[in-house]
Structure 1
Amino acid sequence: MPIDLPALPYDRTALEPHLSGDAVERHHAGHHRAHVDALNAMIAGTAFAELALEEIVRKAQGAMAEHAAQAWSTGLYWRCLKPAAAGGGGEPEGRLAEALATAFGSVDAFRTQFDEAALRGFGSGWAWLLRRDDGRLAIAVTPHAVTPLTGPDTPLLACCLWEHAYLPDYGENRGKYLEAFWKLVDWEFVASRL
C-alpha cells in the first residue's frame, strides 16, 4: 500500500500572515511530496510496502529511513499548526499547561527554552516537545531527518527547522519564524498526544 501525501488540515493560505500560502504550498506540495514520492519508489515491491509510515520510520535504514522520517515528521508538523483565526496560538490549557509548568517552570519558560534550543541547532532539522517514557516532558533538537519516533519518546510538538520552512517568509531569521510558529500552534492537538 503506497504512502499517501496527507492533505493539509486547512487551506494553504489559512496560516497567513504568519506563514504565506506560497511558502506552505512549496513546503507541502514540493518538499513533503518529494519525500513521499521518493519513499514510495523505494518501498515498491518490498516488504516495507505493507507497513504503515511509522513502522517504516522505525525499521528502515539509509535513504529510505530519511525519506520516511521526513514524510512522517512533516505530516506531524502540519497537524501541530492551526490557523490563528481558528484558535491557533494562544496558550495551552489543562493537563498540558500543568505538565509544561512542572517541567519548565512555566509555559513562557518552556517557549523560551524551546526557542533557545531551536536557535542553537546548527543547520537543518527539527525541534520537538517530547514526552519521555516516565511521563516527563523534554525539549530536543534533532539534525536533518532524525526523529524521536525511533526511540522511546513520544513526540508531542514538531517545529520544522529546515530552511524551506522559513526562508520564503523570514529569510535567514529563524527567530522571526519561531515567533510566527507560536502564533499557530494547535495546543489542543498537542495535548491530545500527551
Structure 2
Amino acid sequence: MAFTLPPLPYDPAALEPHIDAQTMGLHHGKHHQTYITNLNNALADHGQLQSLSLEDLLSKLGELPESIRTVVRNNGGGHFNHSMFWTIMGPNAGGEPTGTVGEAITRDFGSFEDFKKKFNEAGTKQFGSGWVFVTADAAGKLEIVAKPNQDTPVMDGRQVLMGNDVWEHAYYLKYQNRRADYLAAWWNVVNWNAVNERLAAIAKGA
C-alpha cells in the first residue's frame, strides 16, 4: 500500500503567531507531500518492500537494495519525522510539561528550563539542515539527540518521543536566519498531552 499524507490535526493558521499559516501550508502540503511521493516512487518496483511499515524500512536501511537506499533514507525519514511533528503540536498548547513526561524531564534533566536549554542548544548547533529529537527507551529514560537532514533515531533502533524540525523551510518565512528565536517560540505550541501519549506507547512497545 502506498504511503499517504496524514491530514493536519488543526487548521494551518492554528499555531499563529508562533508558526505562521503560510509556512504550515507549504511545509505540510508541499514539503511533506514531496517526501511521500519520492518514497512511493522508490518502492514502486520493489513489491516485497511495499508491505513493510515505515519504521521497518528505516530500521533496516542496510538491508535495502543499494539503488533505493539513499532515497528511502531521505524521503522515508522525512515522512516519519514530519508525521510525528504535526501530532505533537497544537493550538492552546505549550506551558509546563505534564504527567509522566514532566516527571521524566525533571528526573533526567533536573528541570524543564534545563531541558529546554539543552534541546534548543542542540537544535541551534545542528549544522545545516536537520532535526533535534528527544528519544525514550522502554523504561522512559530520555535523551536529546540531533540528526542531519531527514535522519531519525529510528535508524539507530531508538524510539522518538518528540522532535523539532530545524530545516530552514520550517521557519524561514517568519524568522529568517533566527533559528534560535524559532526554537524558543516553538515551545508555545508543544502539545504535552500528545507527547505523553507517545511516551505511554513507547513504554508498551507500540
TM-score, with length taken from structure 2 = 0.88
Partner of 1:102: 107
Q: Secondary structure at the residue paired with 1:123?
A: coil
| Pair 1:11 & 2:16 matched | no
Q: Secondary structure at the residue paired with 1:138?
A: strand
| Pair 1:78 & 2:86 matched | yes
Structure 2 counterparts to residues 171-182 of structure 1, below 5 A = 171-182=176-187
Partner of 2:21: 21
Asked if the contact 1:128–1:155 (Cα under 8 Å) also holds between the matched residues in 2, the reply is yes
Question: Residue type matched to 1:193 in 2?
Answer: R
Partner of 1:126: 131
Once residues 130 and 107 of structure 1 are traced to their aligned partners in structure 2, the CA distance between those partners, rounded to angstroms, is 16
- CA drift at 1:148: 0.3
Q: Secondary structure at the residue paired with 1:140?
A: strand
Unaligned runs of 5+ in 2: 62-68, 200-206
Asked if the contact 1:57–1:69 (Cα under 8 Å) also holds between the matched residues in 2, the reply is yes
Question: Residue type matched to 1:75 in 2?
Answer: S
Unaligned runs of 5+ in 1: none
Asked if the contact 1:124–1:163 (Cα under 8 Å) also holds between the matched residues in 2, the reply is yes
* Alignment deviations for residues 118-174 of structure 1 (CA, whole Å, 9 cap, x no partner): 111111000011113553211000011210012232111110011100101100000
Structure 2 counterparts to residues 39-54 of structure 1, below 5 A = 39-46=39-46, 47-54=48-55
* Alignment deviations for residues 78-132 of structure 1 (CA, whole Å, 9 cap, x no partner): 1111113xxx111111221111011000011100111111111111000011113
Asked if the contact 1:80–1:186 (Cα under 8 Å) also holds between the matched residues in 2, the reply is yes
- CA drift at 1:176: 1.1
- Work out the number of aligned pairs and report it: 191
Asked if the contact 1:132–1:152 (Cα under 8 Å) also holds between the matched residues in 2, the reply is no
- CA drift at 1:189: 1.0
- CA drift at 1:45: 3.2
Once residues 82 and 111 of structure 2 are traced to their aligned partners in structure 1, the CA distance between those partners, rounded to angstroms, is 27
Once residues 133 and 119 of structure 1 are traced to their aligned partners in structure 2, the CA distance between those partners, rounded to angstroms, is 28
Asked if the contact 2:38–2:71 (Cα under 8 Å) also holds between the matched residues in 1, the reply is no
Q: Secondary structure at the residue paired with 2:58?
A: helix
| Pair 1:117 & 2:122 matched | yes
CA RMSD of aligned residues (A): 1.3
Q: 1:94 to 1:133 in 2, by over 3 A?
A: closer
Q: Post-superposition, which runs of at least 4 consecutive aligned residues in structure 1 deviate over 4 A?
A: none
Once residues 176 and 69 of structure 1 are traced to their aligned partners in structure 2, the CA distance between those partners, rounded to angstroms, is 25
Once residues 115 and 44 of structure 2 are traced to their aligned partners in structure 1, the CA distance between those partners, rounded to angstroms, is 42
